[in-house]
Structure 1
């Protein structure tokens, strides 16, 4: 149970504290137009988009913990977490989730992919930070 719940919570919190904060900071710096913590309703559920993103991030962090073998007795795979977050979450968002919502990849995708990579890489790093913090005092299985 600990191998599922703790990574889910770590990914959920990382989305709130790392991914959305990165987007908000980039918006405050004038680099991007979108703001972090978007309260736009996610259709068809009607809940804010940042909550939906945090829920999806929780599921992806379970996958990341399994693929990167995150464990208290191993060294932390910091580069792997950055790359996993930046590539896997961005690709899932652009090529799977958005087409399900009717948003198709078209035109110049570089600004969107760059923002996705930066914010999701920070999510990966943050998820690993939380996972390591949650398992710091526990025994390895």
Structure 2
């Protein structure tokens, strides 16, 4: 259960509590136009974008837990989680999801990718926070 369900739930919660909140804070600071918790329908499913992002993040949290070997007896790979979230989720968004939605990578992508990198890196850290919290709680039982 700790290898699949806990990382999945951790990634989902981290997307809601960490990544979307980071987008909201960046918007409140006037650094980006997009706000967190976008209710724009995610095509073709029609569910709100923030729920679709949270579901995809949950899948990637399972991959992150496996690659970084997150376990109660191992030290927490904090830097690895930041790098995984920032690079992998941003790359998948820019080069897989956006082209599937008709948004092609072109020109100077730094202004568009920098906020995503920051929010996704915070997501990686947050997912690890939740994983470690859930694993520690599971050990106490």
The TM-score, its normalising length taken from structure 1, stands at 0.96
Partner of 1:103: 103
Partner of 2:72: 72
- What 5-or-longer segments of structure 1 have no aligned partner? none
2:27 matched to 1:27?
yes
Contact map agreement 2:2 2:135 (CA 8 A) in 1: no
Partner of 2:11: 11
2:56 matched to 1:56?
yes
User: In the aligned structure 2, how far is the partner of 1:40 from the partner of 1:132?
Assistant: 32
Partner of 1:81: 81
User: In the aligned structure 1, how far is the partner of 2:19 from the partner of 2:67?
Assistant: 21
The TM-score, its normalising length taken from structure 2, stands at 0.96
- Structure 1 residue 102, shift from structure 2 partner: 1.4
User: In the aligned structure 2, how far is the partner of 1:54 from the partner of 1:138?
Assistant: 23
- Tell me the SS of whatever aligns to 1:128: helix
Structure 1 runs (4+) greater than 4 angstroms displaced: none
- What 5-or-longer segments of structure 2 have no aligned partner? none
What whole-Å deviation, never above 9, does each CA across 1:69-98 have from its counterpart, x for those lacking one? 000111100000000000000000000111
- Tell me the SS of whatever aligns to 2:136: coil
Bigger drift between 55-64 and 111-120 goes to: 111-120
- Tell me the SS of whatever aligns to 1:11: helix
- Structure 1 residue 138, shift from structure 2 partner: 3.3
**Count of equivalent residues:** 139
What whole-Å deviation, never above 9, does each CA across 1:29-78 have from its counterpart, x for those lacking one? 11111100000001111110000000000000000000000001111000
Query: Pairwise CA RMSD of aligned residues?
Result: 0.9
